[in-house]
Amino acid sequence: MSVGAPKASPSKSTDCPVKVTFSSKIKVKAYGGKTTVAYRWLRGDGSKSGIKKITLKGKGVKYVAVKESATFKGGDLRSWNSVQVLAPRKVTSAKGYFTVACGEDQGDGGKEEVVKPRPRHWTATRVWVDERDCKAVATGRISTSGKRWVRYQWVVNGHVVDRDSVYVNGSRRVQYVIEPGHDLRGQVRLEVVGRGGSSDGSYFRIHCEDHSPKVSASVDSPADYSGTCPVTRTFSGTIRVSDADGPVRYRWIRDGVAGSWETVSFYGHGPQSRTVSDSWKASESGTARRAIEIAGGPTSGTAAAKVTCETAPEVKAFITGVSAEQTAGTCPAATLSGTGKIYATGAIKVKYVWTVNGATVKSGDLDFTAAGEQTVSFSTGSNGKAGTATLSIVGGGNSSAEYKAACEA
């Protein structure tokens, strides 16, 4: 799941009172039934809204639109709102910033300092800061009792960083860009030189882009399967780092349920990848889903694999050939022998019986571990006359062979 950074409307205002509406969208992947989404708003002043809940029905990707409004009566303020999702998983959005700069402070965070009592010709200042990626824009307002040139200077963390002069006819805005090229926090102040006007300090915090190693993960699913069950299918995952030397903790998300943490190690420098796997033993038809979550990092997309269990075909056995031959001894005595072949389509146990002219002369068992053919035979004394030898499979078919007389009548 994911949640977008809130958008403020209006994002900037110089008119007060003003109502600012914050809106965001929560993306949830539901797996059927009812899914409860619990969330709250986090605010730049440290306060939090109450926990709100929304119930979704069905399955698939759902989008939840959320809103919150606040009214500002006056003052100069730069702040933010964000959305924190608590269920079904905890996710916090990026911050959505807004700026209110609308004249005299009425208790809503604006900063202004004037010299009191004001002389006949007075000068006043105030300042606010717009924080951006790796820089901050300090905006100040210089107010005067009339028309005049005003010399001013910017002071950052106690050091004068810029000086200039402007012509002011009642009110004039000036700006200074703080761009240190690295993370920095502190206070900026706008001072009027020679007339005593100085703003309150406005605090800022600059955060530059994180160049630390990036970690990502992806999951590939095995091909869909149709056949006999149980069967084992294996998901393959790839964990990538942009530049790292050490362990990375991760865990498999199996059908939406997080598993235990595991560790994979990287050595050296530069882009690297490691392959991990997770097996699914399917005893019945169904679909399995897998994703990988990186500790303190992103979660991969979800891969799905489908298994369709089919009934195995029935294993059968049948006779492929029978032959019998009589050999004369001292007539009327003779010897009768027979040979037969039995074929099975798979693993099976077969019981067979040899009969001669209806009388049993031999029986036995055959054990087939796979599809194939086996030979069975018999040999017995005979009266030298012609007859019939029969090979039968118990519970199956039979096949016969006639033999000639070996002794003359």
| pLDDT tens digits, 15-40 | 777 888 999 999 988 877 888 899 99
Domains and CATH numbers, the chain: 2-102 (2.60.40.3880), 123-206 (2.60.40.10), 215-309 (2.60.40.10), 317-403 (2.60.40.10)
Query: pLDDT value at position 75?
Result: 65
Q: Is the dihedral of CA 184, 189, 191, 196 positive or negative?
A: negative
pLDDT > 90? residue 259? yes
Instruction: Count the neighbouring beta carbons within 10 Å of the beta carbon of residue 284.
Output: 9
In this structure, what are the phi and psi dihedrals at residue 288, rounded to the nearest 5 degrees? -115, 145
Residue 30 and residue 40: Cα distance in Å, rounded?
A: 20
Confidence of residue 105 (pLDDT cuts 50, 70, 90): very low
Looking at the DSSP assignment, which residues form a beta bridge with residue 216? 240
* Structural element, H or E, at residue 381: strand 372-382
**Statement: residue 333 has pLDDT above 80:** yes
| Mean pLDDT computed over 61-69 | 91
pLDDT in the model for residue 35: 87
Q: Residue 107 above 80 pLDDT?
A: no
Please tell me which residue, 58 or 67, carries the higher pLDDT value: 67
* Euclidean distance between CA atoms 204 and 97, whole angstroms: 14
Question: pLDDT class for 198, splitting at 50, 70, 90?
Answer: low
For residue 73, how far is the Cα from the chain centroid? 44
Report d(CA 334, CA 406) in Å as an integer.
Answer: 7
Structure tokens at 253: 């998300």
Which residue's entry shows tokens 């406005």?
Answer: 202
Of the ranges 110-114, 186-190, 230-234, which is most confident? 230-234
Express each pLDDT in 293-318 by its tens digit: 999 889 999 999 999 999 878 899 99
Mean pLDDT of 248-260: 95
The mean pLDDT value for 333-358 works out to 95
pLDDT of residue 299: 95
Q: Structure tokens of 335?
A: 């010897």
Task: State what percent of residues in the chain have pLDDT above 70.
Answer: 91
pLDDT at 114: 32
Q: What is the mean pLDDT of residues 185-210?
A: 78
Model confidence over 220-246: pLDDT tens digits? 999 999 999 999 999 999 999 987 778
pLDDT of res. 276: 97
H-state helical runs in 306-385: none
- pLDDT, averaged across the chain: 87
How far apart are the C-alpha atoms of 116 and 113, rounded to whole Å? 9
What's the DSSP call for residue 300?
P
More reliable by pLDDT, 214 or 118: 214
**Contact (CB, 8 A) for 302 and 235:** no
How many Cβ atoms from other residues are within 10 Å of residue 39's Cβ? 22
Please, is 72 exposed, middle or buried when counting C-beta atoms within 10 Å of its C-beta (0-12, 13-18, 19+)? buried
Indicate the pLDDT class of residue 117, thresholds 50, 70 and 90: very low
For 47-63, the pLDDT digits (tens) are 888 889 998 888 888 89
